């Protein structure tokens, strides 16, 4: 009986996090996501949220860079990174799930010219353990971490029924492990972009706050700014209630300094 009294449902949890915004946020999340055709350098357009494009562009990949996309599937951001390295440099696109990895391979083969595709390697490793095998290798790393994806949860009665506050806390711990791994795999003076499609601050600024506390002095926070969205303590967030349906996307950018 005590356990039932303590149970917090999805809407109550997010109302507490966004007290003045939750009703409008909820309405925005229940609408169809806004997607646009991204075409630059591709064989055919790929449709994704402009906010997701901004997360990939924040990495500022240049030709010749050695790049790692740690959680790459379904592949939209990998397509953008691949076209930025062009025919020089390299891109490792990783996803641990074999099903998601197969989709990633298909997306790459359907959208990327062969001259660029030959510079892409698809792998299936555990992102949180990457640094056990490679240290100080990459110029740029994108970590688009697995997250609560509240936009998906709120539109699925099955997922909504299974949801609990433990979900976001577990995902925040997992994301932190992945970010620590990325912070070791990147070169000194290299750049990491950490992003999620989560609303929960546990998975967003909370992960960066923990890294700042536990890895003090190892990196600097670069505070990106974008044409739309709003700043947070450690990064930038785009929420659909104020940005014409775009998002949710959280983006933080860090530079390894030692």
Give the pLDDT confidence score for residue 197 in this predicted structure: 98
Q: Are strands 120-123 and 90-94 parallel, antiparallel or unpaired?
A: parallel
Decide if 247 contacts 29 (C-beta within 8 A).
no
Position 1 in a domain: no
* Number of domains into which the chain is organized: 1
As given in the structure block, the two tokens for residue 137 are 């290798």
Decide if 184 contacts 236 (C-beta within 8 A).
no
Give the pLDDT confidence score for residue 27 in this predicted structure: 97
Per the listing, tokens 């997607």 go with 35
Distance (Å, whole) CA 102 – CA 104? 5
Position 155 in a domain: yes
Position 165 in a domain: yes
Give the pLDDT confidence score for residue 5 in this predicted structure: 43
Give the pLDDT confidence score for residue 1 in this predicted structure: 36
Position 14 in a domain: no
Q: Coil, strand or helix: which one is 6? A: helix
Position 7 in a domain: no
Position 10 in a domain: no
Q: What is the CATH number of the domain that holds 145?
A: 3.40.50.150
Give the pLDDT confidence score for residue 3 in this predicted structure: 45
Q: How high is the mean pLDDT in each 10-residue block of the chain (258 residues)?
A: 60 97 97 96 97 97 97 98 96 98 98 97 97 95 98 95 95 98 97 98 98 94 93 98 97 97
Position 107 in a domain: yes
Domain range holding 70?
19-256
User: In 3D, which of 19, 28, 125, 108 has the Cα closest to residue 68?
Assistant: 125
Is position 71 annotated as part of the catalytic site? no
Decide if 135 contacts 185 (C-beta within 8 A).
yes
Position 89 in a domain: yes
Q: Which of 71, 83, 147, 197 is catalytic?
A: 197
Q: Coil, strand or helix: which one is 113? A: coil
Give the pLDDT confidence score for residue 224 in this predicted structure: 84
pTM of the model: 0.96
């Amino acid at each position: 009986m005590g356990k039932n009294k303590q149970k917090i449902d999805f809407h109550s949890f997010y109302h507490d996090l966004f007290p003045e915004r939750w009703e409008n946020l909820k309405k925005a999340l229940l609408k169809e996501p806004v997607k646009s055709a991204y075409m630059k350098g591709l064989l055919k357009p790929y449709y994704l949220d402009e906010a997701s494009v901004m997360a990939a562009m924040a990495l500022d990949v240049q030709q010749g860079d050695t790049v790692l996309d740690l959680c790459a599937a379904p592949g939209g951001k990998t397509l953008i990174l691949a076209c930025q390295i062009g025919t020089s440099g390299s891109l490792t696109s990783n996803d641990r799930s074999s099903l998601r990895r197969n989709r990633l391979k298909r997306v790459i083969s359907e959208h990327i010219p062969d001259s660029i595709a030959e510079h892409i390697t698809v792998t299936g490793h555990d992102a949180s353990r990457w640094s056990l095998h490679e240290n100080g290798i990459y110029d740029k790393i994108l970590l688009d971490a697995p997250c609560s994806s509240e936009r998906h949860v709120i539109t699925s009665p099955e997922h909504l029924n299974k949801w609990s506050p433990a979900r976001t806390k577990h995902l925040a711990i997992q994301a932190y492990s992945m970010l620590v791994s990325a912070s070791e795999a990147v070169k000194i003076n290299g750049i990491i972009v950490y992003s999620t499609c989560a609303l929960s601050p546990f998975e967003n600024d909370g992960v960066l706050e923990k890294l700042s506390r536990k890895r003090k002095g190892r990196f600097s926070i670069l505070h990106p700014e974008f044409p739309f969205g709003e700043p947070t303590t450690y990064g930038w967030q785009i929420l659909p209630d104020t940005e014409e349906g775009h998002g949710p996307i959280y983006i933080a950018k860090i530079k390894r300094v030692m």
